[in-house]
Structure 1
């Protein structure tokens, strides 16, 4: 399964480590990580997944594939800026949101529009069908696995 992981580009140490753990868990369970390919949560989730040998895909806002963080296996340059957020969520079967600001909020809205199940870990609270707030990285991974399997 492909899991899009979205979140803040500038995060503190605790959030960074939570994102590393999400990436590690996804990788250990054989999933591919899709993200925006840059810093913060995107970097951390790729770092965690890469330690397991998992595929990581970074869908970048700019035209330079070399702008991806060092743990992105497959960088995809788009030249679309924030409009690339649609591609990030559309290319996952489910979404894990960690932290985040306006860009993450836009991705959450797109994920709901694309009917992707979402696990929210310390991110925006959304009271809409399809969004589930969770408390730990393992709860986030188990939620998206279970929800996709049930579909």
Structure 2
């Protein structure tokens, strides 16, 4: 049986403490549900926190890294994919995920959300300002949800993945 891969996207060095806390809890909950956590793989911000949370729950993590050498890889990544693509790896992040959860917002995360919406991937927004939520809602033609809690995000993922 194929693994279900849930992408957790969010800011790196500009992530807020609230976003990092939410990403850790999200990674933990995703892994506890038996799903794989996929991030940008770097050792900073939402990427690091989501992978650490998943590892704390005994989960499997995949990191789609911008570098070709892996020097920027989080120790909490089980399967590093060394792309050498820089920010172009965002396409790989999105297309490798059955659901994308965006926790916070930065330029890279905005690109990932836009790519996910264009590819009709289900997207969940967390820890975002109302103005950003309004923008994504105006652009979405596919599944888009806003989650105020990790539990709400997991419930939405379960609904989308239900047969």
> Which range, TM-score by smaller chain?
over 0.9
Aligned counterpart, 2:65:
60
Task: Report the CA distance between 1:34 and its aligned residue.
Answer: 0.7
State which of 49, 54, 68 in structure 2 corresponds to 1:49: 54
The two structures, once aligned, show a CA RMSD in angstroms of 1.2
Aligned counterpart, 1:118:
123
TM-score by length of 1: 0.94
Aligned counterpart, 1:144:
157
Which shows bigger deviation, 43-52 or 9-18? 9-18
Aligned counterpart, 2:22:
18
Aligned counterpart, 2:36:
32
Aligned length: 150
Aligned counterpart, 2:102:
97
SS at match of 2:28: helix
Unpaired runs of 5+ residues, structure 1, are: none
State which of 72, 83, 91 in structure 1 corresponds to 2:77: 72
Task: Report the CA distance between 1:12 and its aligned residue.
Answer: 2.1
Higher radius of gyration, 1 or 2: 2
Task: Report the CA distance between 1:26 and its aligned residue.
Answer: 0.5
SS at match of 1:72: coil
Does structure 1 residue 133 correspond to structure 2 residue 133?
A: no
Q: Which runs of 4+ in 1 moved over 3 A?
A: none
Distance 2:149 2:69 in 1: 34
Distance 2:41 2:105 in 1: 15
Task: Report the CA distance between 1:103 and its aligned residue.
Answer: 0.6
TM-score by length of 2: 0.88
Task: Report the CA distance between 1:66 and its aligned residue.
Answer: 3.7
Task: Report the CA distance between 1:87 and its aligned residue.
Answer: 0.2
